[in-house]
Amino acid sequence: MQLFKRTFKLQRNALMRLLIGSTTLIVSFGAYCSYQVVRNAMLESLKRNAFLEVEQGGDDLEHWLAALKIHVETLANTAAVKSMNWQTAEPYLKTEILRFSDVYSIAIGKSNGWRNVVGGTPANVSDRAYFQKAMTGNTNVSDPLISRAAKTPTIVVAAPIWQTLDTSSSPSGEIHSLVRLDRIAQVVSSIKYGDKSYAFAVNSAGEAIAHPNSALLLTMGRPAPKIVESSDRNLAAIARRMMDRQQGIELVLLDGAWKYVAYLPLKEADWSVALVIPRENLESQLQALDIIAVAIAGLAGAMIAVLWQVQAIEQGQLKKSNELLEKRVLERTGKLSTTLEQLQQSQLRLIQSEKMSALGSLVAGVAHEINNPVNFITGNITCAHRYTQDLLQLLQLYQQYSPNPPAQISDHAAEIDVDFLSEDLPKVFASMRMGADRVRQIVLSLRNFSRLDEAEVKPVDIHEGIDSTLLILQHRFKSTAHAEVQIIKKYGDLPLVECYPGQLNQVFMNILSNALDALEGKDSGGGTIQIITQQPNPDQVTICITDSGMGMSEEVQQRIFDPFFTTKPVGKGTGMGMSISYQIVVEKHQGLIWCDSAIGQGTTFSVKIPVNRGKVAED
């Protein structure tokens, strides 16, 4: 049952742990998934924002370029420009240069490629792509170039000049405004997304047209290096996609750090603009979420820990209470078995006492029955002795006064040996008297021992009890196999002791018969039994019975007063003798009984009982 319970408990604990563990796992997994979903959604939204930023910047750039284009187209449609007369056009163009802040100069090219420019000398630009495009009727924005007039990195916005409204005809010339390259850089650099972010733009050839790193830009001394051919493969890959007019936002490793790059192609020019954002700028806004997630994870962890702890404590308490319960059960069981044992003992004692009482009654009855006939014998034996003396005196007188009797008498006298008879008869009587006396003595002892009539407490001479007991055991002193057992009595001067004499006699009986057994157990067979009585103080008497027997071991001594403990062979002892003695002395008489013994050196049983029961009770 206990084992089953324990197994069940173990199973329940395992189940509980499994349940908590799996719930924790499921919840954690769910929380982690939710966190990832939310984080991704937020990141997407942030990326969209970043992309919107580059779109916004692109839009600004587009508007700026569109304004430049419209400006040039508008100029191309003015009469002054259409006239293709430089003297007419130049003053007008000058005011336009002043008016339009981004334009540093304006030029008008004729169809043969020769152009006049404000603040510069005429030159042929027929080799320039912007010129060729404009002459095919397209307004266009050039890639960065070094202006032949100002010798500075420039972009050119060129538009065709038509004399009529028919734009399908070939233009009569072109007009182009010159814008410094760094103007684009200014516009592009205003696109930002937090600290350390920067924007750059590339043209269709993959060259930088605006970049915070001026080494990547076109200068007077050298052409612009191509970003697509950059040693930074990630940057080159981005530039390639920008050249292919793709748009998007991606996380790449640039200059040794992870950065988001959002890129977008422009419509007004064959350019693409990109915004480089340090990863943390974008993801810093996820920090709150991350912190919350970490906090929740921490809380969950703490909760789990607490749950485990609580469970552990509960289990500990359960275990403790179980142990307590088991301990109590054991205690109760112990008590019950002790009680049962006591019950059995008292039952046995009852039986024994019944037996003893029956035996006592029997002995008392027999003693009484024998007492009367013995009294006849002892009472009459004196008379019989006197009568026979008288008869013997008469016979002597006959012999004296008739010395010659008839033959028949003298024959008979010879036959019965009258002389011997008269000599032996007193001896016979003495012997008979002695025998009768002994019978009387035994009967007295039996009565003394059983003391049926003395179940009450009464003052008794202890010595009388001891003597009676010895008398009853007399036969055993003589029947000892090898040698005589010598009884040494050292009786002190004892007062009458208030006690249950019958019961006390039983104690002496038990001790003495054990002493005899001990002597019999010895190899030599014989020995001494010394009985010492003393009155160490006025209230108590001690009776010490020492035998010179084989002695007892420590273990035996410890158990000597236990019920049913015996060292005797089966059938010889009940194991109750000393137990009953102990009860009689300790419980009935409020006395003490103990033994001192050593193997091979004999045993001493000491009994100490109070002289006056009332006095002890008062103590």
Partner 1 sequence: MLLTSLAHGCVNQPQSRSSLSISDNLLNQIKKRGYLVVATEDDYPPFEFLVNGQPTGFDHELLERLRKVVPFEIRQEILPWQGILPGVASGKYDVALTAAGITDERSKLLDFTMPIAESTIAYIKRKDDASIKTLRDLSGKTLGAQQGGVSFAAVPDLEAKLKQQGGALGQVKQYRNFTEAYQDLLNGRLDAVLHNIVSLSVLVDEKPAIFEMGDRVSRKSYAAWAVKKGNQPLLDLLNGFLTDQREQGDLKPLQEKWLKISFENLPTQPLLPGERPIQ
Contacting residues toward partner 1, per CB under 8 A = 60, 91, 94-95, 97-98, 101, 104-106, 117-120, 149-150, 186, 190, 192
Q: Spell out the residues 6+ positions from residue 179 whose beta carbon is closer than 8 angstroms to its own.
A: 68, 102, 103, 104, 154, 155, 156, 157
Token digits for 577?
Answer: 């003798």
Please report the sign of the dihedral spanned by the C-alpha atoms of residue 451, residue 453, residue 456, residue 458. Answer: negative
Which residue spans within 63-190 are E strands per DSSP? 103-110, 114-117, 123-124, 140-141, 145-146, 153-161, 173-180
Q: Which residue has the tokens 């033994």?
A: 595
Nearer to partner 1, 120 or 573 (CB): 120
Nearer to partner 1, 98 or 407 (CB): 98
Is the Cβ–Cβ distance between 547 and 518 less than 8 Å?
A: yes
DSSP output for 235-268: HHHHHHHHHTT--EEEEEEETTEEEEEEEEE-SS
Nearer to partner 1, 7 or 190 (CB): 190
Nearer to partner 1, 199 or 293 (CB): 199
Nearer to partner 1, 187 or 249 (CB): 187
Token digits for 361?
Answer: 């009654």
- Considering the complex, what minimum distance in angstroms separates the CB of residue 182 from partner 1? 10
DSSP output for 366-419: HHHHHHHHHHHHHHHHHHHHHHHHHHHHHHHHHHHH-SS--HHHHHHHHHHTHH
- Considering the complex, what minimum distance in angstroms separates the CB of residue 167 from partner 1? 29
Nearer to partner 1, 97 or 304 (CB): 97
- Considering the complex, what minimum distance in angstroms separates the CB of residue 63 from partner 1? 11
Nearer to partner 1, 2 or 101 (CB): 101
Instruction: Tell me the three-class secondary structure of 143-171, residue by residue.
Output: CCEECCCCCCEEEEEEEEECCCCCCCCCC
- Considering the complex, what minimum distance in angstroms separates the CB of residue 118 from partner 1? 4
CA dist., res. 298 & res. 291, Å (int): 10
- Considering the complex, what minimum distance in angstroms separates the CB of residue 90 from partner 1? 9
- Considering the complex, what minimum distance in angstroms separates the CB of residue 179 from partner 1? 11
Nearer to partner 1, 163 or 186 (CB): 186
- Considering the complex, what minimum distance in angstroms separates the CB of residue 126 from partner 1? 22
Distances (CA, A) of 480 to 3, 287, 294, 528: 60, 110, 100, 12
Is the Cβ–Cβ distance between 546 and 529 less than 8 Å?
A: yes
- Considering the complex, what minimum distance in angstroms separates the CB of residue 94 from partner 1? 5
CA dist., res. 375 & res. 553, Å (int): 49
Residues in the chain: 619
Is the Cβ–Cβ distance between 265 and 246 less than 8 Å?
A: yes
- Considering the complex, what minimum distance in angstroms separates the CB of residue 171 from partner 1? 23
Q: Which residue has the tokens 């006492």?
A: 353
Nearer to partner 1, 96 or 283 (CB): 96
